[in-house]
A = this chain, B = another copy of it.
């Protein structure tokens, strides 16, 4: 591991950002670098007890802070950025979830506008036990408690958007952003399109765990200590973020309505499968139709996110980007073992 470059990024509160696009790099790295970074939770760490209602203690639009941007040397439009998540670890022994007025899938929102008053704003505090690998759910209005498995992930990972846009960090779109899929856990590589020189990666919104869809609007929100390995694939155009784990290749789509997010993710996975296996598009469509999975990411953000998954076992020896995921995984394992 002597040849691994390792960098650390631990932003101060006033260095946190709330958008993708624009701004100056907080860190500049070369491809192949390991970055150890910290992220704050989506409330900026301000919701610390059941009386800290986010609509009072938080300051819109200073929500969902991200750590970055990280400038990756040599990344240019037309390339893709590969970010392997080596480790995601809660930084505190507590985490928090809330309802939030006009946010969530089962409430009137600013988009699905209705004449109802908002639902109650309620805060749930979770105990986080990294040793035991659980978080503790406690009902607020009765005595029920239960442990849920700890399964850390990042809701928000992205790069600067195309066309000079600057987009709130709570929006998921073609540049990544707030996709809020539990698939983005340690052991997974995300592939992102590069839209500007240096790519300008940023990461935030750690979750100790999250249900599919994030139906109430927030997950088990936590500040994280995260280790990533970053690389660049030259001349590898990508329309939407893709993920790869040891078991699955995954396409994403983030748009409304939800069926269009489904269409984008499936369309991308069909094209990717056709390319990897040398299949005709309709043959790939058939294969994905029978072997694919389609878990929801989020149905609460400004765009909804769907994930389309195909077991890598079906690919035989074919692997995306010449096996880049495996190489990054191996780098990560070595680094973590020697650390």
Contacts and interface: CB of A to CB of B under 8 A. Distances in A.
Interface of A: 18-19, 21-22, 60-61, 97, 99, 105-108, 110-117, 119-120, 122, 124, 135, 137, 139-142, 144, 146, 148, 162-168, 209-220, 239, 253, 255-260, 262-264, 266-268, 270, 277-283, 285-296, 299, 304, 306, 314, 316
A140 B213 contact: no
Given A114-B263, A210-B289, A213-B289, 17 more contacts: A22-B166, A106-B114, A110-B239, A115-B285, A122-B286, A124-B286, A139-B280, A139-B287, A142-B278, A148-B290, A148-B314, A211-B294, A215-B266, A216-B285, A256-B256, A257-B258, A258-B259
B289 A215 contact: yes
A257 B299 CA distance: 12
Contacts of A306: 296
Given A165-B166, A290-B97, A259 B113 contact: no
Contacts of A117: 116
B260 A292 contact: no
Q: Label chain A's interface by main secondary structure.
A: loop
Q: How many copies of this chain does one complex carry? A: 4
A270 B124 contact: no
B283 A215 contact: no
A266 B112 CA distance: 11
A108 B119 contact: no
B314 A146 contact: yes
A140 B166 CA distance: 40
A22 B286 CA distance: 35
A256 B255 contact: yes
Contact of A279 (B60, B144, B316): B144
A234 to B, nearest CB: 22
11 contacts: A61-B162, A106-B266, A106-B270, A135-B290, A164-B166, A210-B290, A211-B291, A211-B294, A212-B295, A256-B259, A256-B260
Contact of A285 (B106, B219, B262, B293): B106
